[in-house]
Chain A
């Protein structure tokens, strides 16, 4: 296999590994195509330490005459250090890691080689399809239909093959409307609110451009969404100034005169570089090991991460409020419709929809609104907060989503069927994974590279019985009510479980959480036994 070309030294003895929570240990380091394996000869029962090379964000080497030190900064924010005897070995190992961790060919990535005994490639990849999702929502069958207009990805390369659209709009109209939207991302349904019969749609920006082009079909499509009611809201995730400026580069917004009945509200959400830099600053502040951590709160504020959390939650709250309190449908978009739009629409669904707050429901939401909807995971998560390479398309939009969900779960500790460990697991998997779920940038790419046939699906795996238990919230109590988050700054907290997870001073906090988790789980045990008894 070609990986061997990159491996200059496969094995080094007497390497010292330093990592959080563990004493430095001496052992053998081994480089394989996808992993670093460190085994400790002394401890016979100790399992070898395995690190996915894909997880490595930055590598720093300090070779000296007889030995060298390699610092590995991982995408899961963990920092490791290897002391390697021999300068040549050190350099060889470093360069092997460098080239192997930056391989970009999808089909060479580890998910294509990961074959655990408990999963089969014959299993269904993914939890549900648009058609299955539609079939479950009987109440929308009169007004809405599944369109296969994108079955060959020609209308929108980043959309899934099937989408849900108003019944009265035919495929021909969709094709034309798609030409008027960036990336062909015409407005599609993402949530139907039973109580008010209103919907949340999402799309990309209209291509009205500098000379204010119109598209009759696009207008018809939106008209059909609010058919019969007098008002709908367009929540534009850019400032109105940004939206104006977008016209210069061919983009734009829905003007009032062309879209009767639609009222536009602008809420500026940061994305791209700004968001990435915010994460970098935050991680830097968190990683500051000096114990007097001077001006910690100012540093936290300067990273602006929590204000991004606040804006995301407040915009989602606005969307939810339009739908549930005002009874009006909403269209969410920014420019490409692959980042902040997804963030806002999925958070709004969590606020409104109890079905999306169960473990399976939440994973289903992520699959629909992020994986199938074409969030470019591969581009956004190529690097995390430590990387020295020049950033291109990286942005922690998905991590921001997870943080917002954590804030919701913290404010409503009983409302979510899943627990913090699930969010932490997802935050790790999105950057480096054994599974194929977060590979590629779109459904189309996943088909072309054979992800669905040749890798396993993370979401399926998380729903297996023993995993399910670990990721469930034992305090969960379903509520049909909307959960309105408080977005006042004192109500929003740093997600310590993620950003401070590698600092050892917080160990007892993790322990305490486990104790509580166990206490509550014990309550469930006789009830579960009951089920087992009746089964058996």
Chain B
């Protein structure tokens, strides 16, 4: 509050519009400064007069228009103009506020809850049904799935240099890991999703287990999600396997095939005791027995040790992030910021996830194979395996490797993106919704903060991924699993997010990246070293300084360019200087005679 006036921040967060978008011949939006995407069409005939109740700048008069992809608002009188550019996919809930009897200024309008940590409020005139028109259109186009309409990804006509659907090829990724080998084989038993409808078609399993064995094991694992290999350590051959909980139930059922199968995993590299990481708090694991689930008992799995990682379920995470939103939007809880932040428990959950992944990575580094599961093996399990793989394998820390990691551990293994995000679905109170993937990206962000030179990609990539997690502009995060994606022809009918990213890769690259592939990264999971991701969660607030790496990155790039330019000039100068003597120099065999040449080579060497 020291300022007598407020700084005007960048309210306009533009969701990346690639260079390719502009090359297409596009209709310009009626508000001139918006470029519509190929395939994007207006669904409101006229720009409507509306008042945006900006929590930072007060009521702003302006115009709104809506397309099948976005809601766009531009203020009429504020200078500089305030704009909102919100993909409809981000909208979680639209409500009318105020009724015909509403008194008070600007109390009649629309209240929009977004999935990306903000709410939007618009006030409208009561006359002329304008609210009804906008509400109906928003409701229809923000929730197309509920209205039997396609999401925008199916309407987009975007073209990119690169086809992002080619980023992840399961066989290539297995070969990169050195698979198959004499202990692990590749199976196509799930080619038609018969074994498990939420798994990918290609799986890596112990060499000594037959497809018949796999079928038997699948009967004892929740939703048929059998233990399969996610990652293998090249030197010590320790593996990370993932699965769902065993169907132990109240009676404490056992399954010989499952027991034998886990022992095969253990045996593969001679691990003395297989470690099973159950991501849940032990109480929850026990409680799951009541619904037919459970965990691997000591008696049944004698060569295994079971460790509970105390990570809470999707409902706890949803409530935690909701609390976080309450203390950061629209206004930051000022007076007791830190204890309020603490009471959301968000960072504590982050800590548990990271420290769980550290334990997995540490076991693997020590040469011991592990099996990771939670209940269904598609939320916490995905977090743990992918974070551990990020710690262990430098490939996943590259721009493309990270895409492979997401495609593999999250998308192909059936993290239920559609249910967790609720793409195009009006049912905002659906209990299946949960920010598990956001939490995972937060964990990745924490790692990039702690190892600023270890990742090839930058913060912008992480934010872009989260923006398009909701936007529905790309097919990447649509649907719950591969079988559903096949049915709906995602790969042929929609564009991949990686098409956008890889076509402008340089803007997602971390200039400080120094590859050290073999180094295992152990982040500090102590509360003292975890930070709130302010640049994501509080990015709408113009009063928060956006402490991004980007000014540093930019400055470094400038310096690099400056250096290159200087070196080039110097080289040119010296070449022209030395050209009359060039024959002499090239013949010269005495080292001392050729100082200009020396100088040139000298300048080249440090870089």
Chain A residues with CB below 8 A from B336, complex form: 301
**Which of A475, A493, A523 is B552 in contact with, Cβ under 8 Å?**
A475
Chain B residues with CB below 8 A from A413, complex form: 551-552, 555
Bitwise interface map of A from 268 to 298 toward B, beta carbon under 8 Å scored 1, else 0: 0000000000000000001000010101111
Least CB distance from B531 to A in Å reads 7
Give Cα A473–Cα B526 distance, bound, in whole angstroms: 29
Least CB distance from B247 to A in Å reads 34
Query: Are the CB atoms of B552 and A414 closer together than 8 Å?
Result: yes
Give Cα A488–Cα B563 distance, bound, in whole angstroms: 38
Query: Are the CB atoms of A317 and B3 closer together than 8 Å?
Result: yes
Chain B residue with Cβ nearest A483: B545
| Residue A480, interface by CB 8 Å | no
Query: Are the CB atoms of A505 and B452 closer together than 8 Å?
Result: no
| Residue B188, interface by CB 8 Å | no
Query: Are the CB atoms of A491 and B545 closer together than 8 Å?
Result: yes
Residues B329-372 near A (CB distance < 8 A):
332-334, 336-339, 341-342, 347
Known: A512-B453, A526-B563. A505 touches B526 (CB 8 A): yes
Chain B residues with CB below 8 A from A475, complex form: 552, 555-556, 559
Known: A291-B526, A315-B2, A414-B552. A489 touches B337 (CB 8 A): yes
| Residue B193, interface by CB 8 Å | no
Query: Are the CB atoms of B2 and A487 closer together than 8 Å?
Result: yes
| Residue B32, interface by CB 8 Å | no
Stretch at the interface among B132-140, B256-264, B536-544: B536-544
| Residue A522, interface by CB 8 Å | yes
Least CB distance from B394 to A in Å reads 15
Give Cα A298–Cα B343 distance, bound, in whole angstroms: 9
Chain A residue with Cβ nearest B567: A526
Query: Are the CB atoms of A300 and B338 closer together than 8 Å?
Result: yes
Least CB distance from A181 to B in Å reads 26
Query: Are the CB atoms of A493 and B524 closer together than 8 Å?
Result: no
Q: How many residues of B contact A (CB 8 A)?
A: 52
**Which of A298, A490, A506, A516 is B453 in contact with, Cβ under 8 Å?**
A516
Give Cα A116–Cα B523 distance, bound, in whole angstroms: 41
Give Cα A411–Cα B534 distance, bound, in whole angstroms: 13
Residues A514-536 near B (CB distance < 8 A):
515-516, 519-520, 522-527, 529-530
Chain B residues with CB below 8 A from A47, complex form: none
| Residue A171, interface by CB 8 Å | no
Chain B residue with Cβ nearest A303: B338
| Residue B71, interface by CB 8 Å | no
Give Cα A4–Cα B570 distance, bound, in whole angstroms: 62
Bitwise interface map of B from 451 to 484 toward A, beta carbon under 8 Å scored 1, else 0: 1111000000000000000000000000000000
| Residue A108, interface by CB 8 Å | no
Least CB distance from A420 to B in Å reads 13
| Residue A349, interface by CB 8 Å | no
Query: Are the CB atoms of B5 and A527 closer together than 8 Å?
Result: no
**Which of B4, B526, B547, B560 is A523 in contact with, Cβ under 8 Å?**
B560
Chain B residue with Cβ nearest A415: B551
Known: A297-B339, A520-B556. A325 touches B4 (CB 8 A): yes
Residues A408-427 near B (CB distance < 8 A):
410-411, 413-414
**Which of A326, A500, A525, A527 is B528 in contact with, Cβ under 8 Å?**
A500
Query: Are the CB atoms of B556 and A508 closer together than 8 Å?
Result: no
Known: A491-B544, A508-B451. A524 touches B528 (CB 8 A): no
Q: Which of A326, A485, A515 has the most CB of B within 10 A?
A: A515
Give Cα A486–Cα B539 distance, bound, in whole angstroms: 13
Known: A411-B545, A475-B555, A526-B567. A512 touches B2 (CB 8 A): no
Bitwise interface map of A from 162 to 197 toward B, beta carbon under 8 Å scored 1, else 0: 000000000000000000000000000000000000
Query: Are the CB atoms of A317 and B2 closer together than 8 Å?
Result: yes
**Which of A301, A325, A474 is B337 in contact with, Cβ under 8 Å?**
A301
Residues B178-212 near A (CB distance < 8 A):
none
The total of interchain contacts (Cβ-Cβ below 8 angstroms) comes to 142
Query: Are the CB atoms of A296 and B547 closer together than 8 Å?
Result: no
Query: Are the CB atoms of A527 and B566 closer together than 8 Å?
Result: yes
Least CB distance from A2 to B in Å reads 45
Query: Are the CB atoms of B524 and A505 closer together than 8 Å?
Result: yes
| Residue B7, interface by CB 8 Å | yes
Query: Are the CB atoms of A512 and B451 closer together than 8 Å?
Result: yes
Bitwise interface map of A from 462 to 483 toward B, beta carbon under 8 Å scored 1, else 0: 0000000000001101000000
Known: A484-B7, A487-B2, A525-B606. A293 touches B527 (CB 8 A): yes
Chain A residues with CB below 8 A from B607, complex form: 522
Chain B residues with CB below 8 A from A519, complex form: 453, 512, 514, 556
Chain A residues with CB below 8 A from B567, complex form: 526
Query: Are the CB atoms of B2 and A489 closer together than 8 Å?
Result: no
Known: A486-B543, A512-B452, A519-B514. A506 touches B524 (CB 8 A): yes
Chain B residue with Cβ nearest A317: B2
| Residue A314, interface by CB 8 Å | yes
| Residue A74, interface by CB 8 Å | no
Chain B residues with CB below 8 A from A306, complex form: 338
Chain A residue with Cβ nearest B530: A296
Give Cα A406–Cα B514 distance, bound, in whole angstroms: 27
Give Cα A314–Cα B2 distance, bound, in whole angstroms: 5
Give Cα A484–Cα B512 distance, bound, in whole angstroms: 27
Bitwise interface map of B from 566 to 607 toward A, beta carbon under 8 Å scored 1, else 0: 110010000000000000000000000000000000010011
| Residue B1, interface by CB 8 Å | yes
Residues A296-318 near B (CB distance < 8 A):
296-298, 300-301, 306, 313-318
Chain A residue with Cβ nearest B328: A490
Query: Are the CB atoms of B451 and A298 closer together than 8 Å?
Result: no
Chain A residue with Cβ nearest B453: A515
Give Cα A302–Cα B342 distance, bound, in whole angstroms: 13
Query: Are the CB atoms of B334 and A530 closer together than 8 Å?
Result: no
| Residue B450, interface by CB 8 Å | yes
Give Cα A520–Cα B555 distance, bound, in whole angstroms: 9
Least CB distance from B553 to A in Å reads 10
| Residue B529, interface by CB 8 Å | yes
Chain B residue with Cβ nearest A295: B342
Give Cα A502–Cα B341 distance, bound, in whole angstroms: 26
Chain B residues with CB below 8 A from A410, complex form: 547
| Residue B562, interface by CB 8 Å | yes
Give Cα A512–Cα B333 distance, bound, in whole angstroms: 32
| Residue A212, interface by CB 8 Å | no
Chain A residue with Cβ nearest B537: A490
Give Cα A8–Cα B136 distance, bound, in whole angstroms: 89
Known: A490-B538, A519-B512. A293 touches B342 (CB 8 A): no
| Residue A321, interface by CB 8 Å | yes
| Residue B532, interface by CB 8 Å | yes
Known: A519-B512, A526-B566, A527-B566. A490 touches B2 (CB 8 A): no
Query: Are the CB atoms of A488 and B450 closer together than 8 Å?
Result: no
Query: Are the CB atoms of B562 and A523 closer together than 8 Å?
Result: yes
Bitwise interface map of A from 325 to 347 toward B, beta carbon under 8 Å scored 1, else 0: 11000000000000000000000
Least CB distance from A231 to B in Å reads 13
Query: Are the CB atoms of A529 and B603 closer together than 8 Å?
Result: yes
**Which of B4, B451, B527, B547 is A491 in contact with, Cβ under 8 Å?**
B547
Chain A residues with CB below 8 A from B529, complex form: 496, 500, 505-506, 509
Least CB distance from A468 to B in Å reads 18
Residues of B whose CB lies within 8 Å of any CB of A are: 1-5, 7, 328, 332-334, 336-339, 341-342, 347, 450-454, 512, 514, 524, 526-529, 531-532, 534, 538, 541, 543-545, 547, 551-552, 555-556, 559-560, 562-563, 566-567, 570, 603, 606-607
Supplied contacts A296-B527, A475-B555, 20 more A-B pairs, CB within 8 Å: A293-B527, A297-B341, A301-B336, A317-B2, A317-B3, A325-B4, A410-B547, A411-B547, A484-B3, A486-B544, A490-B534, A496-B528, A508-B450, A512-B453, A516-B512, A519-B453, A526-B563, A526-B603, A526-B606, A527-B562
- Which A-B residue pairs are the 9 nearest by beta carbons? A489-B337, A486-B545, A314-B2, A301-B338, A297-B342, A317-B2, A523-B559, A318-B2, A296-B527
13 sample A-B contacts, Cβ–Cβ < 8 Å, listed by A number: A297-B342, A300-B338, A301-B336, A410-B547, A475-B552, A477-B555, A489-B332, A490-B532, A491-B534, A496-B528, A503-B528, A523-B562, A529-B603
